[in-house]
Amino acid sequence: MASKPPADAVREAEELRAELRRHNHLYHVEARPEIGDAEYDRMFRRLQTLEAEHPELASADSPTQRVGAPPQDAFETVEHVAPLLSLDSSEKPEDVARFDERVRKALGEGVEPVYILEPKLDGASIELVYVDGVLARAVTRGDGRRGEGVTENIRTIRSVPLRLRTDVRPAPAVLSLRGEVLMYIPDFADFNQSLIESGREPYASPRNSAAGAIRQLDSRVTASRKLDVLVFDVLAVEGASFATDTDGVQAIRDWGFRVPERIETASSVDEICAYHAAYESERDELDYEIDGVVIKLDDLAARRAMGATSHHPRWALAYKFAPRQEITVIEKIDVQVGRTGVLTPVAWLRPVVVGGVTVARASLHNREELKRKDLREHDTVRIQRAGDVIPQVVEVVEPGEDRSPPFEMPSVCPVCGTEVHEDGPRLVCPNRFGCAAQLKGRLVHFGSRRALDIEGLGEETANLLVERGLVHRLAELYDLEPEQLTELDGFAEKSATALVEAIRSTRKPDLRRFLIALGIPEVGVTVARTLAERFGSFAAIRDATPEALTEVDGIGPRMSEAITGFFADERNTEAIDALLSRGVEPQTVDVPDEELPDLGTVVFTGTIPVARVVAETAWRRVGGKTSGSVSKKTAFVVAGENAGSKLEKAERLGVEVLGFEDFRARLAEHGGSLEEA
């Protein structure tokens, strides 16, 4: 057994750790250091010496653990404690007004919303998870549900506490936080200059640089980069609770994190727009990138009741800034074929920096957009980054000399030669599973995390499989042998065997994932889940009539037509049959025999003690419906204070009227609760 370290060494190590954590927080979070670098380094070296002499003293949360660890082979895929959703966004103030109207309607009459406002940071999203106050893991955003475990890299960033501060409030048992990893603009410029001087390719933007830094397999490389983390959201917590987001942000501060500057609250669209305008006017003076402001409902119970789509929360909106613009020249226009078969004209540009990002190509969208803007090769054009991300050509500034003739879109697919067809303003190659350009993308989609999650089947591998003739159609994935893959660049026997085994392990896929993997038009995560739960088997979904599909909540005539059209196409039928013939068997789902009872439609009027969306959600969960208007079919009306015309109409029609406490009791009779909403 190892000898126990002397008591004085234990005490000195604890005191040094506490002091180093305090000075680290003062320097990196509060920007008010009390000691110089020399004194900090002296204490740091003394702690290193103690831990070297007495290894039993070493701990994961020690300040000495920030220097980086030996290289890893790869990053582990990790489930998030809570989803990291994207935000719905707009640059238009009228959309902010519509968002405010939706929130007010959800809260109910007489309830004034309070919004929390913050800058929309343009960095790399990260989830930080603490267990009993100690950093347990850090995970990239990934697909929002799962990401890459980059804990060792995040440990090197000094603004991230390895142990929560507990002098103001205790550490909860489990805490999941969302933050943004940033590289400040001056540090980015210096870093890029060092890359150029060493003959390496510079990064396109601070965000790309931050994302690349936290995904280094050698955390010592991450430690050498100047990174910061700002934390702004409590995703999940056990052992503490908050009524508002404002309370959560204060807790984040108390636990020792840096939060974004100028987090404020507002109650009106005018206040939101003033906050947005103030940040936009100062945007170019900031030393970090932002691309808008975020508006979030402050009341957390109301947030839970409003809920989220599969992509974004309904209680938040990103109010984006107007895109930055620059002038450049279109050097060439060509056509690319995407995963869904859409033919997209693309402009190859004389490279130009737009808002810190070098842009060399831009989508021209479709033939009608190309014609409307009259864009031609050698024209001088104005470009912008829409949402500060996607490059767009805005307009012609100056036609080129001896101007080129108008660009004509092809009548056949430039990849496979199949005659294209029109779909509104777009041209589409219908050879879904046979066109090489589509097949590459479909292989990547088939193996993506949301689909069959085939590790190793990324873009580079998919391209190799198609270009080397190993896969001519989707089903041939299941014919691959390891010895075929070892002939490809980047594959050894071990990695080739691993990919083949990963592919074969998906022969009995979850039905929902299989539907997503096929790339059926209009079928995303939510619709796939709905179809699986409603029909139970792939055969039943494949044979479903348009009428049967439109009976499913959330599926309208257009979506129904897209789904049935996909299964009716002979090329798709052949591709699916080929998959099934290789032993691919989507697993059936148990369809419940009993559905929730129909408890009738409720209308709320007047001011009630909880946000209206909370009460409505609670009633729907036990089988009821809600409406904004009273009719003879209304089961009952819940009348709060200052109830108006809806109450009068209910009384005129003889509809039952309940007070709020009576509604609470009625809800409880059916097993419901406002606390669960």
DSSP state of 591: P
Token couple for 64 = 């000495």
CA 469 to chain centre: 35
SS3 32: coil
User: Which of these is catalytic: 4, 105, 120, 633?
Assistant: 120
Rounded to an integer, what distance in angstroms lies between the CA atom of residue 332 and that of residue 348? 5
120 is catalytic: yes
Buried b (16+ CB within 10 A) or exposed e, 194-231: eeeeeeeeebebbbbbbbebbebeebeebbebbbbbbb
Residue in 81, 112, 280 with CA at minimum distance from that of residue 176 = 81
d(CA 648, CA 438): 60
Report the SS3 class of residue 417: coil
Beta carbons of 478 and 470 less than 8 angstroms apart: no
CB crowding 649-676: b at 16 or more within 10 Å, else e: bbeeeebebbebeebbebbeeeebebee
List, in order, residues 6 or more apart from 271 with CB less than 8 Å away: none
Burial grade of 243 (CB within 10 A; 0-12, 13-18, 19 or more): exposed
**Rounded CA separation 206/181 (Å):** 10
- Answer for the pair 437, 462: CB distance below 8 angstroms, yes or no: no
| Dihedrals phi, psi of 641, to nearest 5 degrees | -70, 145
What's the Cα-to-Cα distance from 207 to each of 340, 352, 353, 356, rounded to whole Å?
Answer: 29, 18, 15, 10
Q: At what angle do helices 7-28 and 37-53 cross, to 10 degrees?
A: 140
Q: Measured between alpha carbons, how far is 64 from 70 in angstroms, rounded to an integer?
A: 14
- DSSP notation for 322-382: PPPEEEEEEEEEEEEE-TT-EEEEEEEEEEEEETTEEEEEEE--SHHHHHHHT--TT-EEE
Residue with structure tokens 């190509």? 361
Pick the closest to residue 74 from 217, 212, 214 (CA basis). Answer: 217
Give the H or E element holding residue 254.
helix 245-254
CA distance linking residue 465 with residue 608, whole number of Å: 61
Active site amino acids: 120
